[in-house]
Structure 1
């Protein structure tokens, strides 16, 4: 188990630039040295500053935004005492981590909701290193939209060769000019691509400038923690290499051009920073136009890295599916396009999206709908993911990591992921071994799509 002293010592051993520690910029949720936990994490209301001169009455972890970075090590037990100090139930889902179903954080499906004022101990051994994130799976549109999102970094079992690291949370807030929240959704937008926020931030700041050391091999971890937006990541004026997608290392790092990231997705880049006085700008590509996300200003350092190709990260121990004997399961994601149904009181209850012609039904302690598929434990599967809609959908399966095999719309070099961004009218084949027993949520990570039907679960037994 990583104790607080070892954790803080490893953090202080990272880059020192001009007498200051260059990483991290986030608060750390590490517990006291005498506590039997690695972290104590509290969800609570908090006032934060997002827009100039405004106050946002947010929901935060540990009283602020960005949330604390939770950091563990591959193959080592991680114990997180979670305290719910909201005025409503919640849970924590550890997005992308292959952990036991009891720790997955889906209300009723994997654990009872954590009531207001209650605590819950999350304890698991992460088998994979990489960039992951955490968020509730209760009242998701509001709880995520108001700020309950954070990064969980699982370091490799053995140290990897980087001089510096940046963790960047991309989120577009639904706030007005005074900082108050605007509407998170509308039926019109939910039936399309979703309702975008109005204030784009990186780590809670609009177009921030951060210092980085010169001539340093830098690992940039980007996380799309937004409810709705797809970001198209580019660094047009400087060389960058893709080293991991959604937490999983790629076989061979390759130069970044433009990489789309739907909600829930992550991207690890390797960059050798230029000389002091220069800058590295990460941008969001929209068509032919590029818009600034963050500006890294390069400061003098003792590093002497040279630009060029970078080494692969160690592969994670993901079981290899037996494609020759794999069973194929088809999933069609469609737009229902019907008149919004109403509940018994006549209130609108929108359901716009379906998986295999079935919209997700509400789930309670006394009622759990049937799964969209039942899989045999230990067997290999190929999923045909077919998007029959004019909108993109980041499709995420809890508890597993897929290998992406092919697409009918683009050339694919097989890679691992837990979230596949399906373009309109695209069909993608993914494969995996159903080696983790349980009832695993399976949904689009555009929260409005998930809340209006595009969700189900897979049962593995």
Structure 2
């Protein structure tokens, strides 16, 4: 049975010291402990009733008392320690999207850990090497679990001041709900074979047509995160303002003006600096012509810190620079299978997509034992990504960052990322140093593309 937001808050407040059944009793803390020794969080996944459609209740699943879930923060270089407690009726994990971490903390079932069963907990503990905007979500039954609300922002703060006195986190997500707030199918085979199964109700920080306040006259860092299962947003702003891009997918770039629109695929993030106009003005946040939400400009709080000049570029993350002149080249073809096969007896999803002729079977716990590529630790590689389909694919690599260096479709100013939106019939080149040992997932972040074949494993040893 679902609980209300008030019950979650009340229940959490009463859990200062509680035993959790997972091979014994455990003592855990809420929120953060002493900041001098890192960032400790207790994070509970549980059913939660939310009101997405006015006057109707949706039985979501949430990390904490909201969906999207609790914003977690840590400082670059520090330890992030999270005791994750599963109070859902299903098993799950947490994957820390975009974070370069040890394999055993990556949250992929039967590859880096066993699923966390109902009533159990798992302690995630790792250092965060890079500053930026990231997020977290399960890697179990992803269409349903992300679709029900199990997503949340993870913000890694720079070690030194950045010049921004104000910032806002803006989580974008579509919901698969009908006019009464009841969930619709998260994946439909005929849609999974195309762009993916889209939700019908957009939200900004969990609210349809949500409003985010900006202080008048100030330069505000706005972290836009696409936490959707499927949707690629054609981000554009309308109103009186100035805006620059400061980071893509957690990694800083040389600041440049925001173009007419920016295509933000599932799993991708963009950090903007927006100079807010006078109080009373509004800036429309749009997906192409469709309004997603509103930035409302309000009078700044008296005596608050101010940022009126453009801050300098953010400090670069310590990502290894690939040696392009000595890099080995590897080809990856992203293809449509060409037919739909459904094994109803075994409950397998249809096989619709493949990488280099191999379709991933999410019901097969041994798929990662057959990696699509084996990389030598410390060597540089150029990966040629060839989209042989008529649909976009946001290609995401776990455990490492890669540098986008070329595309046959548009000019590239090289930058580091963990997710690249590979356009229709596009051929792009990305480069990396294989500096993190393990078996890492390499997949499309349109979730029902991933679950119907568009995933592989890359081994670094």
- Fold-level match, TM-score > 0.5? yes
1:8-19 equivalences in 2 (<5 Å): none
SS of residue paired to 1:337: strand
Query: Displacement, 1:31?
Result: 4.2
Q: Using the alignment, how far apart are the partners of 2:306 and 2:417 within structure 1?
A: 33
- 2:252 equivalent to 1:249: yes
1:243-392 equivalences in 2 (<5 Å): 243-285=246-288, 290-301=289-300, 305-306=307-308, 310-342=311-343, 345=345, 349-362=349-362, 368-392=368-392
Query: What does residue 13 of structure 2 align with?
Result: none
1:392-403 equivalences in 2 (<5 Å): 392-403=392-403
1:449-460 equivalences in 2 (<5 Å): 449-460=449-460
SS of residue paired to 2:290: strand
Q: Deviations over 1:411-441 (max 9, x none)?
A: 1111111001011000110001000000001
Query: Displacement, 1:327?
Result: 0.4
Query: Displacement, 1:176?
Result: 1.0
Q: Using the alignment, how far apart are the partners of 2:176 and 2:340 within structure 1?
A: 27
Query: What does residue 408 of structure 1 align with?
Result: 408
Q: Using the alignment, how far apart are the partners of 1:346 and 1:221 within structure 2?
A: 42
Query: What does residue 428 of structure 1 align with?
Result: 428
Q: Deviations over 1:7-64 (max 9, x none)?
A: xxxxxxxxxxxxxxxxxxxxxx724669996110001111111101110011111133
Query: What does residue 186 of structure 1 align with?
Result: 188
Unaligned runs of 5+ residues in structure 1 are 1-28
Work out whether residues 162 and 312 of structure 2, in 8 Å CA contact, stay in contact via their aligned partners in 1.
Answer: no
Q: Using the alignment, how far apart are the partners of 1:164 and 1:134 within structure 2?
A: 23
1:432-451 equivalences in 2 (<5 Å): 432-451=432-451
* TM-score, length of structure 1 as denominator length: 0.89
Q: Using the alignment, how far apart are the partners of 2:183 and 2:46 within structure 1?
A: 17
Work out whether residues 235 and 256 of structure 1, in 8 Å CA contact, stay in contact via their aligned partners in 2.
Answer: no
Query: What does residue 179 of structure 2 align with?
Result: 177
Query: What does residue 46 of structure 1 align with?
Result: 48
Query: Displacement, 1:310?
Result: 4.5
Shift in CA distance, 37/254, structure 1 to aligned 2, threshold 3 Å: closer
User: Cα RMSD between the aligned structures?
Assistant: 2.0
Query: Displacement, 1:291?
Result: 2.0
SS of residue paired to 1:38: strand
Work out whether residues 39 and 79 of structure 2, in 8 Å CA contact, stay in contact via their aligned partners in 1.
Answer: no
Query: Displacement, 1:349?
Result: 3.8
Q: Using the alignment, how far apart are the partners of 2:346 and 2:407 within structure 1?
A: 43
Shift in CA distance, 376/32, structure 1 to aligned 2, threshold 3 Å: closer
Query: What does residue 197 of structure 1 align with?
Result: 199
Q: Using the alignment, how far apart are the partners of 1:245 and 1:409 within structure 2?
A: 19
Query: Displacement, 1:163?
Result: 2.1
SS of residue paired to 2:450: helix
Q: Using the alignment, how far apart are the partners of 1:163 and 1:304 within structure 2?
A: 6
Q: Using the alignment, how far apart are the partners of 2:123 and 2:364 within structure 1?
A: 22
Work out whether residues 368 and 439 of structure 2, in 8 Å CA contact, stay in contact via their aligned partners in 1.
Answer: no
Work out whether residues 196 and 228 of structure 1, in 8 Å CA contact, stay in contact via their aligned partners in 2.
Answer: yes
Query: Displacement, 1:196?
Result: 0.8
* TM-score, length of structure 2 as denominator length: 0.89
Q: Using the alignment, how far apart are the partners of 2:152 and 2:167 within structure 1?
A: 16
SS of residue paired to 2:185: coil
How many residues align? The count is: 428
SS of residue paired to 1:189: helix
Q: Using the alignment, how far apart are the partners of 2:448 and 2:367 within structure 1?
A: 22
Query: What does residue 224 of structure 2 align with?
Result: 222
Query: Displacement, 1:252?
Result: 3.6
Q: Deviations over 1:255-283 (max 9, x none)?
A: 34311011000010001111112222221
Which of 236, 239, 242 is the aligned partner of 2:238?
Answer: 236
Work out whether residues 252 and 314 of structure 2, in 8 Å CA contact, stay in contact via their aligned partners in 1.
Answer: yes
Q: Using the alignment, how far apart are the partners of 1:313 and 1:391 within structure 2?
A: 33
SS of residue paired to 1:218: strand
Query: Displacement, 1:365?
Result: 5.3
Query: What does residue 209 of structure 1 align with?
Result: 211
Query: What does residue 12 of structure 1 align with?
Result: none
Q: Using the alignment, how far apart are the partners of 1:438 and 1:323 within structure 2?
A: 23
Q: Deviations over 1:261-318 (max 9, x none)?
A: 1100001000111111222222111xxxx222221221222566546x5421111011
Q: Using the alignment, how far apart are the partners of 2:367 and 2:229 within structure 1?
A: 27
